[in-house]
Structure 1
Amino acid sequence: MTQSPYVRLTIRGSERAADVIVPGSLTPADVIPEFIELVGETTKVSSLGLFTVLGARLEHTVPVGEQELLDGQVVQVLPLADAPLEPVVHDVVDRLTSIDVRGLWNDTSRPWVLGILSTVLLLLSLWFIPGAFSRPWWPVAGMYALTIVTAALKVHTLAWPLYAGSLLLTFLGGINFEFGSKESAIWWLSAFAANLAVFGVLRRRFLALGTALATLAAGIGIFILSTTLGATAEQAGAIVAVIALAALGLVPRFAMQGAGLYKVQDALAEDEDVKVKRVDVAISEAYEALSMSVVVLAVILAISLGLASALVVENIFAAITVAAVAIAMVFRTRHFPFALHRAVLWGAAIVTGVCCAQAIVASKPDLSVWLGVGVIVVAIAVYTVPRFAFRSSVNSALGRRISGVIERICTLVTVPALVGIFGVYSELLRTFQ
């Protein structure tokens, strides 16, 4: 393999970042001690490794010049126990990453500030959900105001999911979707499609725009077809949710295929003369198509699961379907390397949980306190258990395998559970009897 004599990298630590030029003959094991001093890390060298922003670890004993790093690529110094999960998207997307870890607004302060604000936002949404979404109107207006303020803070942490969930919840409240206001739903979806169109035209991302609008049209079309064939709105929501979950697993590959990223990678692997501009265009188009498609699917999942959640109390198969889709969606976020993509999917899961809670409280008001306690316990577990239970590299690998098994099981469960919503199993049982 051809070795680059020098490699220019941006090294990112937990507090600082540094631009360096590394001789291509040196290995990560040789340069990590110097990198630690540059970025001010205090962890022992033996427990640290070099990772791309998308989670691929640099080979410890292979020279840097032989690891196909791009000029100016961002590399993270991370404890091995906190290594990111292996991504689906190729590391070439690192070139899109911009990093700002300086000043008071850093990786330490940001989660606290955003966590407090996002908690307030979520509590507000939980407060007005038990009543009709559009009454009273001022909590909805307050949610919009807080969302605008928090969006201005340029969120880059795990607080994203709460914002995304509250924002989607506000949209659901604004259109009064669960209470049958079809006109307002049509207006909101039309405005959403118009926003996508304006964004795509202004950014000249016609591939991304076409993919997103096609995804949105497919979701609406499946819903209309299901209701035309006799399904209720809640049953149609469950159908759309299961299909959207399946599409979520195919979006990254379709986005990169459509942008020609695989062809560029093949050309680079065969040492062909590839222009830098062609690489940049392919990367940018793939990222835009991926982002817009994931956002559209998150909106579709939030609305469809919100509809299906109305059945969770009276239909055990509906409860299994909603839970399986939501859990599979959450575990599937590990395939998406960018915080925005994970955030909107987590947001859709939060919307699902809140809508299910609303349905349960409406049916059994005496369970509201215990339901609130359960939500708090689950939220704490989701954010703390993975962090402390899988700190070693062995346990981390075990955690990834367990996550994959859970995701596959939940995905397989969705289809038979969806069939059960329509009473097929009861009819078969009566037939045999």
Structure 2
Amino acid sequence: MKRLFLNSLIILFVAVQLTAQDDNDPEKAIKKATKGLNAYISDQTNIARLDEAKAAIEIACNNDLTKNSAKTWQTKAMIYTEYMNKDNAMKMINNNAKSQYPDASLTAYNAYKKALEFAQKKYEKSDAIKGIAEVSNGLRNMGADKYQEKQYGAAYSAFNAVVEGQETLKGAGEKAVLADTSLNQYTFYAAVCANLAKMTPEAKVLYEKLYKVKYKDAAVYDGLYNMTYAEDPKKALSYLEEGRKLFPDETSLLFTEINHYLRINKLDELTGKLKLAIEKEPNNVSLYNTLGNVYDNLALIAQDSLKNPEKAAEYSKEALGSYEAALKKQPNNADANYSVGAYYYNRAASKTKDLIKLQDDYSKEGTKKYNAVSDEIKALFAQALPYFQKAESFNPNDANTIIALKEIFAKTNDLEKSNEFKKRLETINSGGKNTPYFKF
């Protein structure tokens, strides 16, 4: 009896060993994964079979006998493509649905790349290339989702895979999923995300690629300036100067240029260039506005970075003079009207800080000071108001103008108008359009 029991134990132990060996056999794992994948494709409600396939294929991917096989990676790619397709189908029903398999498209893409790398037969290469084309849309969706979630490194990986995939398709003589213009756009998305993720080497490579194809966005030149300056200041400056010529109204480049001249202590060179241009083209209103913008930004830097309020006031006065000169040339210029309004508005906002400091002083002298500052603020808002009104009449969909009007009316107790401009701001934010409130 004991011998029979012992023999039964031995048989059971051997069976367990054989099962364990089967579970770890990479060739059998591929077959199991393929079987599970096919079962899921036949019945897409049976997600458990796809999960089984996913677990099985990992055995083959990590085994020396099968990890260099195109079949292994093609199978893995196809499994994750199904996860991607499941997510896409769900989003077609509900666009706001949260992705259940957020990285599936990137995992599939990387597996297709591996399959192509190890492909020996013509059909293996063909299948891998078709797979790369198939996941392109999923990668684009993933990149957009990750960007919205501020996961910039993951967004870069997805957008960069879109770009790589298109280049692979072209290299194989296949029709690209994206036109060249769209491909450049996704290269730009990848560059921006890499930059936001502080992946400077990756971002620089992409920005240089965009520069070569003359991609029209100021961020390319701004990025190349910032990423090149430490190793080659002269080349960095050439990027900046070229960007400023191409995008003269782009404030990010303007601010970068100001910082550059601050860095090398040549501010007069910047303002001097603009003044020289005005001498040559005295009726060019945009030059006056640009000079005013330069002085405005210099005032911000002097106030916030240099902690020099006297210099900030000097720059602000120069800015106001430039905007007023623009209005003399062109009284209906929306930018100049807004900028003069902003000059008085910002001074009022600065005075508000002083008012807050005085609000707890109930002494006779404190009350007197409080009332005096309050009157100054009201006077400054009164000076700002007509300029903002005129700016709104020319451009009723400029959010900054609408915000300024909403705040001025709120602070001067005209709640009816403040609420009106609050509604107008909501219209802009929801993608709608306003007609002018003020008529001149």
Is the shorter-chain TM-score for this pair beyond 0.5, marking a shared fold?
no
Answer 1 or 2: higher relative contact order, Cα 8 Å, separation at least 6.
1
What TM-score, normalized by structure 2, do the two folds share?
Answer: 0.23
Report the structure, 1 or 2, having the larger strand content. 1
